[in-house]
Amino acid sequence: MTSTRHLIGLLLGTEEDWPAAFEEIARRLGPVDYPVDGPDGGSHAFDIERITIEPFTLRYHPRYQLVIDRLAYWYYVPREWLKKVAMMDDVYLLNSPFTFQSMEKHAAYCAMMRLGLKVPETVLVPYKNPVDNARYAYTAARYNQPFDLDAIARQIGYPLFMKPYDGGAWRGVSRINNVTELHAAYDASGEMLMHLQKAVDYDVFARSLSIGAETMVMKFQPDQPMHLRYAVEHDFLSPAAGAEVVSIGRLVNAFFKWEFNSCETLVKGADVYPIDYANACPDVALTSLHYYFPWAIKTLVKWSVFALVTGRKAKLDLETDRYFAIAAEPGMSYQEKLAGYRALADEYFETERYHDFCAARLPHLDQIVLDWVTGPDFDQFLVRTVQSVYPAHEHDKFIAHLRGLLHLWVRDESARLAAA
């Protein structure tokens, strides 16, 4: 039997919690046997390393086989390094660096509209204050037509949202109820390029976190402080709406080659409206995800192991034609198209093969994670995380809060495993 060692690189921002959890779960998992004929058959072991930022020659060969990145969406040196290792070295990245721009939701809106999804009416308006560039003044004088902001807003209808075409973390987002607010927001937009988008008067906000072929749909409460935004509630959507939320997320992810992304949908009655679908490398901090944290980190480990052990290749080319062909099919209903997209997306993610792989090769991982979360190491990890995130006077409150939610997860997960 051959044995293979894989090196996983973590490209990190300020976070310490999920990388430590990822390393711990992978360590407790240990090597994975994959008894198949061919180059992937044998025993597979995993090393994990945190990547540092260095100058690099574009022809060098990186040591990593897979990289999980939470940094490149705002820091350009690692972003360009990711492009190099994806283009030249076949390093497996969870998000294609050529399409992930977590700050650019415009392209995702365009793709989803072409595919017939219910993106609310959206208009891009030119800058309030054009970029400071001598050439721009000339271009603007010649080509920037005066436009009637009031008429655009009237046509969309109030209330509406004004938000940057490349937004993230609510920067520059405002809800607008009338023409006075419209002008105030546009004047304040300055050098940000803005969309105006019809507001959806929704019943439920569903935020889904996708990691590879798995998706967790969570009830999101955007008005709450960070630690209360994800509600622990399991059947808050009808089965049909829940399935649609999963399908839309998987579709967008397969379309752009994103495997670690979070998506936002507003659900009103039976209708699902996607509003924010480009949050590649999303926040998976213990303090934000709480109850869902063990699922997220376990799934990151499972997907990484699956990709490495089975020799999955990252794809850089988008197969947009296959999706657009379904979109253009005359006589196909919305639900039929969605089913067609879902089949393409599941093919891209090898969903069935992934689940078979987990059942056959990682059947003990659920118990490993449950034991870890139940034990004293995890509690110390929880306490350390709270101490590093919150000011001293809030430690007791947040330690109790997180312990409560994680105990709830332990109870639910124990019941689930006992029933299985």
Contact 101, 278 (CB under 8 A): yes
Residue 18 burial (C-beta neighbours within 10 Å; 0-12, 13-18, 19+)? buried
Site size with ligand ADP, rule: CB under 6 A: 18
With vertex at residue 11, the alpha carbon angle to CA 258 and CA 410, rounded to the nearest 5 degrees, is 75
Binding status of residue 199 toward ligand ADP by CB under 6 A: yes
Near Mg ion by CB under 5 A, which window of 90-98, 136-144, 192-200, 272-280?
272-280
Contact 265, 248 (CB under 8 A): yes
Binding status of residue 163 toward ligand ADP by CB under 6 A: yes
Quote the least distance from Cβ 205 to ligand ADP, whole Å. 6
Binding status of residue 170 toward ligand ADP by CB under 6 A: yes
Binding status of residue 276 toward Mg ion by CB under 5 A: yes
DSSP assignment of 3-60, as one string? Answer: EEEEEEEEE-SS--HHHHHHHHHHHHH--EEE--SSTT-EEEEEEEEEPPP----TT-
Quote the least distance from Cβ 143 to Mg ion, whole Å. 32
Binding status of residue 64 toward ligand ADP by CB under 6 A: no
Near ligand ADP by CB under 6 A, which window of 181-189, 192-200, 289-297, 402-410?
192-200
Quote the least distance from Cβ 174 to ligand ADP, whole Å. 9
Binding status of residue 228 toward ligand ADP by CB under 6 A: no
Give me the sign of the Cα torsion angle 231, 235, 240, 242: positive
Coil, strand or helix at 139: helix
The interface with ligand ADP within residues 229-288 (CB under 6 A) comprises 264, 266, 275-276
Among 87, 169, 226, 240, binds ligand ADP (CB under 6 A): 169
Binding status of residue 166 toward Mg ion by CB under 5 A: no
- Of the two residues 163 and 302, which places its CB atom closer to Mg ion in the complex? 163
Binding status of residue 259 toward Mg ion by CB under 5 A: no
Q: How far is residue 254's CA from residue 348's CA, in Å, rounded to a whole number?
A: 6
Q: How far is residue 58's CA from residue 85's CA, in Å, rounded to a whole number?
A: 9
Binding status of residue 192 toward ligand ADP by CB under 6 A: no
Residue 211 DSSP one-character state:
E
Contact 312, 92 (CB under 8 A): yes
User: Which ranges in 144-232 belong to alpha helices (H)?
Assistant: 149-156, 179-189
Binding status of residue 166 toward ligand ADP by CB under 6 A: no
Contacts with ligand ADP by CB under 6 A lie at 120, 161, 163, 167-171, 173, 197-200, 222, 264, 266, 275-276
Contacts with Mg ion by CB under 5 A lie at 264, 276
